[in-house]
Amino acid sequence: MIPEWLKHPKWKWLRPPIGGALVVLGIFGFLPVLGFWMIPLGLAVLAVDFPWAQRALDWLMEKWRALEARWKEWRAKQ
């Protein structure tokens, strides 16, 4: 999901600001240019260094998959 070069230990100082910025700006996804897609991407960047971010990303993806399954089920009934 994130580029391999960003996972390299020499970029450890860069990951938290990038991940934090993506999550914070993703909250304003209703504005033009920004998007809600930035939240999971920011969590993925933060998850490289922080276990809590990995848990948050796992929770978010689980909820997304459940919502997607319900949507497909609903669409099949249409």
* Predicted confidence (pLDDT) at residue 40 exceeds the cutoff of 80: yes
Return d(Cα 31, Cα 34) in angstroms, integer: 6
**Cα 33 off chain centre by:** 17
DSSP labels, 12-52:
TTTHHHHHHHHHHHHHTTTSSS--TTHHHHHHHHHHTT-HH
**5-32 pLDDT, tens digit each:** 888 888 889 999 999 999 999 999 888 8
**58-68 pLDDT, tens digit each:** 999 999 999 99
Q: Provide the whole-model pTM.
A: 0.74
Amino acid letter, residue 43: L
